[in-house]
Chain A
Amino acid sequence: EAGVAQSPRYKIIEKRQSVAFWCNPISGHATLYWYQQILGQGPKLLIQFQNNGVVDDSQLPKDRFSAERLKGVDSTLKIQPAKLEDSAVYLCASSLMAGAYNEQFFGPGTRLTVL
Protein backbone atom coordinates (compact mmCIF):
# COMPACT_ATOMS: atom_id res chain seq x y z
CA GLU A 1 0.00 0.00 0.00
CA ALA A 2 1.44 3.35 -1.01
CA GLY A 3 1.90 5.88 1.78
CA VAL A 4 1.11 9.57 1.94
CA ALA A 5 2.99 11.44 -0.77
CA GLN A 6 4.15 15.04 -0.48
CA SER A 7 6.00 17.39 -2.79
CA PRO A 8 8.28 19.16 -2.92
CA ARG A 9 10.46 17.76 -0.15
CA TYR A 10 12.40 20.99 0.25
CA LYS A 11 11.66 24.59 -0.66
CA ILE A 12 13.63 27.77 -0.09
CA ILE A 13 11.97 31.12 -0.75
CA GLU A 14 12.38 34.73 0.24
CA LYS A 15 9.96 36.49 2.55
CA ARG A 16 6.87 37.91 0.89
CA GLN A 17 7.02 35.26 -1.84
CA SER A 18 4.33 32.63 -2.33
CA VAL A 19 4.66 28.88 -2.02
CA ALA A 20 2.43 25.84 -2.43
CA PHE A 21 2.69 22.31 -1.11
CA TRP A 22 0.95 19.24 -2.46
CA CYS A 23 -0.28 16.13 -0.68
CA ASN A 24 -1.72 12.87 -1.98
CA PRO A 25 -3.23 10.80 0.85
CA ILE A 26 -3.52 7.05 1.08
CA SER A 27 -6.18 5.80 -1.33
CA GLY A 28 -9.59 5.61 0.30
CA HIS A 29 -8.73 7.82 3.28
CA ALA A 30 -11.52 10.30 3.82
CA THR A 31 -9.75 12.51 6.34
CA LEU A 32 -6.71 14.66 5.53
CA TYR A 33 -4.66 16.83 7.88
CA TRP A 34 -2.00 19.51 7.44
CA TYR A 35 0.39 20.09 10.33
CA GLN A 36 3.12 22.68 10.87
CA GLN A 37 6.22 21.47 12.73
CA ILE A 38 8.59 24.23 13.78
CA LEU A 39 12.11 23.13 14.69
CA GLY A 40 12.22 21.82 18.26
CA GLN A 41 8.44 21.59 18.59
CA GLY A 42 5.77 19.00 18.03
CA PRO A 43 3.44 19.16 15.05
CA LYS A 44 0.57 21.62 15.26
CA LEU A 45 -2.66 21.00 13.35
CA LEU A 46 -3.38 23.68 10.76
CA ILE A 47 -6.42 22.26 9.02
CA GLN A 48 -8.45 19.06 8.84
CA PHE A 49 -10.58 17.97 5.88
CA GLN A 50 -13.30 15.35 5.82
CA ASN A 51 -13.61 14.45 2.13
CA ASN A 52 -13.58 17.91 0.52
CA GLY A 53 -15.08 19.79 3.47
CA VAL A 54 -13.19 21.62 6.22
CA VAL A 55 -13.70 20.15 9.71
CA ASP A 56 -11.26 22.30 11.69
CA ASP A 57 -9.18 25.28 10.57
CA SER A 58 -9.11 27.11 13.87
CA GLN A 59 -5.29 27.32 13.93
CA LEU A 60 -4.80 28.23 10.28
CA PRO A 61 -3.52 31.84 9.85
CA LYS A 62 -6.16 32.64 7.28
CA ASP A 63 -4.68 36.01 6.33
CA ARG A 64 -1.82 34.22 4.58
CA PHE A 65 -2.51 30.48 4.56
CA SER A 66 -5.09 28.70 2.45
CA ALA A 67 -5.80 25.06 1.72
CA GLU A 68 -8.11 23.14 -0.51
CA ARG A 69 -9.00 19.54 -1.18
CA LEU A 70 -10.84 19.51 -4.46
CA LYS A 71 -12.63 16.24 -5.28
CA GLY A 72 -11.83 14.95 -1.81
CA VAL A 73 -8.53 13.36 -2.76
CA ASP A 74 -5.28 15.31 -2.96
CA SER A 75 -4.78 18.65 -1.31
CA THR A 76 -2.71 21.81 -1.63
CA LEU A 77 -1.57 24.19 1.11
CA LYS A 78 -0.54 27.70 0.08
CA ILE A 79 1.25 30.49 1.89
CA GLN A 80 0.96 33.98 0.44
CA PRO A 81 2.95 36.00 1.38
CA ALA A 82 5.47 34.02 3.42
CA LYS A 83 7.07 35.34 6.59
CA LEU A 84 10.31 34.31 8.27
CA GLU A 85 8.37 32.56 11.04
CA ASP A 86 6.75 30.25 8.49
CA SER A 87 10.03 28.32 8.25
CA ALA A 88 9.02 24.82 9.32
CA VAL A 89 8.27 21.31 8.12
CA TYR A 90 4.75 20.96 6.76
CA LEU A 91 3.38 17.50 7.32
CA CYS A 92 0.38 15.97 5.63
CA ALA A 93 -1.43 13.04 7.20
CA SER A 94 -4.48 10.98 6.35
CA SER A 95 -6.78 8.57 8.12
CA LEU A 96 -9.56 6.28 7.03
CA MET A 97 -12.12 8.28 8.98
CA ALA A 98 -12.21 11.22 11.32
CA GLY A 99 -11.84 10.72 15.06
CA ALA A 100 -8.80 10.17 17.24
CA TYR A 101 -9.37 6.41 17.37
CA ASN A 102 -8.36 6.17 13.72
CA GLU A 103 -4.62 6.06 13.09
CA GLN A 104 -3.14 8.97 11.18
CA PHE A 105 -0.52 8.11 8.56
CA PHE A 106 2.04 10.82 7.92
CA GLY A 107 3.91 11.80 4.80
CA PRO A 108 7.63 12.70 4.83
CA GLY A 109 6.91 16.42 4.97
CA THR A 110 8.03 19.50 3.08
CA ARG A 111 10.81 21.50 4.70
CA LEU A 112 10.26 25.22 4.04
CA THR A 113 12.99 27.78 4.61
CA VAL A 114 12.02 31.45 4.35
CA LEU A 115 14.97 33.83 3.97
Chain B
Amino acid sequence: AQSVTQLGSHVSVSEGALVLLRCNYSSSVPPYLFWYVQYPNQGLQLLLKYTSAATLVKGINGFEAEFKKSETSFHLTKPSAHMSDAAEYFCAVSEEQGAQKLVFGQGTRLTINP
Protein backbone atom coordinates (compact mmCIF):
# COMPACT_ATOMS: atom_id res chain seq x y z
CA ALA B 1 0.00 0.00 0.00
CA GLN B 2 1.17 3.50 -0.72
CA SER B 3 2.12 6.03 1.96
CA VAL B 4 3.46 9.56 2.28
CA THR B 5 5.84 11.13 4.78
CA GLN B 6 6.17 14.88 5.07
CA LEU B 7 9.32 15.91 6.90
CA GLY B 8 8.60 18.75 9.29
CA SER B 9 5.13 19.51 10.59
CA HIS B 10 5.99 23.21 10.72
CA VAL B 11 8.26 25.28 8.46
CA SER B 12 8.96 28.96 8.97
CA VAL B 13 10.66 31.19 6.38
CA SER B 14 11.13 34.90 5.86
CA GLU B 15 9.24 36.77 3.18
CA GLY B 16 11.27 36.59 -0.04
CA ALA B 17 13.18 33.49 1.03
CA LEU B 18 13.14 30.07 -0.62
CA VAL B 19 10.33 27.73 0.37
CA LEU B 20 11.14 24.01 0.54
CA LEU B 21 8.58 21.50 1.79
CA ARG B 22 9.68 17.88 1.80
CA CYS B 23 7.67 14.84 0.78
CA ASN B 24 8.75 11.23 0.45
CA TYR B 25 6.45 8.51 -0.78
CA SER B 26 6.19 4.76 -0.81
CA SER B 27 4.48 2.95 -3.63
CA SER B 28 4.85 -0.49 -5.17
CA VAL B 29 3.77 0.73 -8.61
CA PRO B 30 4.30 3.99 -10.53
CA PRO B 31 2.64 6.72 -8.52
CA TYR B 32 0.67 9.82 -9.18
CA LEU B 33 1.80 12.56 -6.78
CA PHE B 34 0.01 15.71 -5.67
CA TRP B 35 0.47 18.80 -3.56
CA TYR B 36 -2.58 20.46 -2.04
CA VAL B 37 -2.83 23.71 -0.06
CA GLN B 38 -5.36 24.42 2.67
CA TYR B 39 -6.02 27.94 3.89
CA PRO B 40 -7.70 28.41 7.29
CA ASN B 41 -11.34 27.30 7.35
CA GLN B 42 -11.23 26.31 3.70
CA GLY B 43 -11.09 23.08 1.77
CA LEU B 44 -8.04 21.77 -0.04
CA GLN B 45 -6.94 23.26 -3.35
CA LEU B 46 -4.74 21.46 -5.86
CA LEU B 47 -1.35 23.15 -6.35
CA LEU B 48 0.17 20.70 -8.82
CA LYS B 49 0.32 17.04 -9.79
CA TYR B 50 2.77 14.56 -11.29
CA THR B 51 1.30 11.94 -13.60
CA SER B 52 4.36 10.33 -15.22
CA ALA B 53 5.02 13.07 -17.78
CA ALA B 54 7.71 15.69 -17.07
CA THR B 55 9.51 15.17 -13.76
CA LEU B 56 9.54 18.91 -13.00
CA VAL B 57 5.99 20.04 -12.47
CA LYS B 58 4.91 23.66 -12.32
CA GLY B 59 1.81 24.62 -10.38
CA ILE B 60 -0.16 27.64 -9.37
CA ASN B 61 1.12 30.59 -7.35
CA GLY B 62 4.74 30.06 -8.46
CA PHE B 63 5.16 26.64 -6.85
CA GLU B 64 6.89 23.71 -8.49
CA ALA B 65 7.91 20.19 -7.52
CA GLU B 66 10.36 17.66 -8.88
CA PHE B 67 9.71 13.94 -9.01
CA LYS B 68 12.86 11.97 -8.14
CA LYS B 69 12.27 8.25 -8.46
CA SER B 70 15.69 7.29 -7.08
CA GLU B 71 15.00 9.24 -3.90
CA THR B 72 11.23 8.50 -3.82
CA SER B 73 10.74 12.21 -3.24
CA PHE B 74 8.45 14.95 -4.50
CA HIS B 75 9.58 18.12 -2.71
CA LEU B 76 7.70 21.38 -3.18
CA THR B 77 9.59 24.63 -3.77
CA LYS B 78 8.99 28.28 -4.41
CA PRO B 79 11.89 30.69 -5.04
CA SER B 80 10.49 33.63 -3.10
CA ALA B 81 7.93 33.33 -0.32
CA HIS B 82 5.01 35.72 -0.06
CA MET B 83 2.92 36.43 3.00
CA SER B 84 -0.10 34.96 1.22
CA ASP B 85 1.66 31.57 1.04
CA ALA B 86 1.04 30.98 4.74
CA ALA B 87 -1.13 27.85 4.87
CA GLU B 88 -1.10 24.09 5.44
CA TYR B 89 0.39 22.01 2.65
CA PHE B 90 -0.38 18.35 2.01
CA CYS B 91 1.45 15.89 -0.18
CA ALA B 92 -0.60 12.96 -1.50
CA VAL B 93 0.05 9.81 -3.48
CA SER B 94 -2.13 7.60 -5.60
CA GLU B 95 -1.32 4.60 -7.74
CA GLU B 96 -1.99 4.46 -11.46
CA GLN B 97 -3.60 1.10 -11.01
CA GLY B 98 -6.08 -0.40 -8.62
CA ALA B 99 -8.29 1.75 -6.41
CA GLN B 100 -6.41 4.98 -7.28
CA LYS B 101 -7.50 6.59 -4.04
CA LEU B 102 -5.52 9.50 -2.58
CA VAL B 103 -3.40 8.90 0.50
CA PHE B 104 -2.33 12.12 2.23
CA GLY B 105 0.65 12.99 4.37
CA GLN B 106 0.14 14.60 7.76
CA GLY B 107 0.71 18.10 6.42
CA THR B 108 3.24 20.91 6.86
CA ARG B 109 2.21 24.26 8.22
CA LEU B 110 4.09 27.07 6.47
CA THR B 111 4.58 30.33 8.32
CA ILE B 112 5.97 33.43 6.59
CA ASN B 113 7.84 35.97 8.71
CA PRO B 114 7.78 39.61 7.57
Contacts and interface: CB of A to CB of B under 8 A. Distances in A.
Interface in A50-104: 55-56, 91, 93, 98-101, 103-104
Nearest to B96: A100
A41 B44 contact: no
Interface SS of chain B: helix, strand, loop or mixed? loop
B60 to A, nearest CB: 12
Nearest to B41: A108
B42 A91 contact: no
A107 B43 contact: yes
A106 B45 contact: yes
A5 B46 CA distance: 17
Contacts of A48: 101
Contact of A100 (B4, B41, B102): B102
Contact of B107 (A41, A103, A107, A109): A41
28 contacts: A4-B43, A40-B106, A42-B4, A42-B90, A42-B107, A43-B90, A43-B104, A45-B101, A45-B102, A48-B101, A55-B99, A56-B99, A91-B43, A91-B44, A93-B44, A98-B100, A99-B100, A100-B32, A100-B96, A101-B51, A103-B49, A104-B44, A104-B102, A106-B44, A107-B43, A108-B42, A108-B43, A109-B43
Interface of A: 3-4, 40-45, 48, 55-56, 91, 93, 98-101, 103-109
